[in-house]
Structure 1
Amino acid sequence: MRIKQTVLFLFLFAHLTAMADEAIDSLNDLRWEYRLIIGNIGDNDDVSKFQKQWQSKQGELVDRKLVLILIAPDGLQTMGLKQSIETDDGIRDEIIQKLKGKQVALIGLDGGVKSRYGLKDFYFASVFGQIDQMPMRVNELRSRSK
C-alpha cells in the first residue's frame, strides 16, 4: 500500500512539474487549472492601472486561481501564470473572440465566459463576489472548512 502511494505521488509530482514547464498555445490549455481575467486594453496607462490593482490583491487572486492575460500595446502580458505563452497570435485571436467587443472578461475553470465588462465597469470586488458564488468555488470553500 505504501509503495502504491509513493508511486502515485511521484507520478503526480512529475506530471505537475512537466505541466508547469509547458508553454501554452491556447486558452484551453489553462482549462480546469485557472480562472482567467482576459482583456484587450489599448492604452499603456490603463494597463498600468490594471496591473497595480492586480498586484494589490495577490492573496485573493491566488486563492481564487485567477490569472491575468492582457492584450496591451506592447504585446501580450500575463500575471499569475506559471507557464509561458507559445505564440501571441493564437491567444490574441481567442481573447478578441471571447471579449465580443468588451474590454475585459472573466473565464471560469470550465473555459466558459462568465461575464464581459467595459474597462470602466470592471471591479475586482464584484468579480470576486461572482466567483465566490460559482459552484466549483463553493465546493472549494466547503472542502477547506471540513
Structure 2
Amino acid sequence: MKYIICFFIFSLSIQAKELVMLTDLSPLRWENRIIVVSTINNQDRIFNIFEQHETELNERDIAWFIMQNDTISSNFNGNMTDSLVSNIVKHYKINTQVEQDKVLLIGKDGAIKWTAQHLDLAVLFSEIDAMPMRQAEMRTQ
C-alpha cells in the first residue's frame, strides 16, 4: 500500500509539472539555462542550428525560445500562453523592431549572463561551461 501511495504522489507531481503554462520564464529558474533569440527573419535558420546541437543543449539544461513577431518556437515541452512573447520582451527589454537578431543567455538564477547580435553556439557553450554552476555539474557527470 505504501508503494502505491508513493507512486500516486509521484505521478501527480509529474502531471502537475507538465501542466505548467508559461506566461514568463520564471518557472524555469534553477532548472534551466535559457537562450532567447529575437529575430526578424531568421527563425528557420536558428531553429535548424538548435536542432543540430540538441545533445549539447540538453547536456547544459538549455531551454531555448525563438521569437519572431508574435510567434515563438521552443524546445520547452509544456504549454506557453499567448502573453509569453510580450512578457519576455517587456521583462528583458527586447526591441523587436530592430533589423538584427538579439540573443540572450539567461542563467539558472534568472539573470542575463550574456547578450549578442547573432547566435554563436560555440561562444555560448564556452560562456556556459565557464560558469561555476556548470563547472560543478561537469564534475558530477
How high is the TM-score relative to the length of structure 1?
A: 0.79
The alignment status of 1:87 with 2:82, answered yes or no, reads: yes
Taking every aligned residue pair, what percent have the same amino acid on both sides?
Answer: 22
Following superposition, the deviation at residue 55 of structure 1 comes to: 0.5
Letter in 1 for 2:19: D
Look up the match of 1:28.
26
Cα-to-partner distance string for 1:52-81 (whole Å, 9 max, x where unaligned): 111100100111111111221361221x20
State the 1:92 CA deviation.
Answer: 2.5
Root-mean-square deviation (CA, aligned residues, Å) is 2.3
How many Å separate the matches in 2 of 1:96 and 1:49?
25
Contiguous gaps of at least 5 residues in structure 1: none
Task: State how many pairs are aligned.
Answer: 134
Q: Following the alignment from structure 1 to structure 2, what is the Cα–Cα distance between the partners of residues 53 and 115?
A: 19
Q: Aligned partners of 2:93 and 2:47: how far apart in 1?
A: 19
CA shift, 1:95, in A, is 3.3
- Which is helix-richer, 1 or 2? 1
Report Cα offsets for 1:66-111 as digits up to 9, x if no partner: 1111221361221x201111233x4433235425557110001111
Task: Read off the aligned partner of 1:129 and give its amino acid letter.
Answer: S
1:9-48 aligned at under 5 Å gives the runs 11-43=9-41, 46-48=42-44
Aligned pairs for 1:70-81 (under 5 A) are: 70-73=66-69, 75-78=71-74, 80-81=75-76
* Whole-angstrom distance in 2 between the partners of 1:100 and 1:72: 12
Q: Give, in whole Å, the separation in 1 of the partners of 2:138 and 2:8.
A: 27
Q: Distance in 2 between matches of 1:48 and 1:96?
A: 24
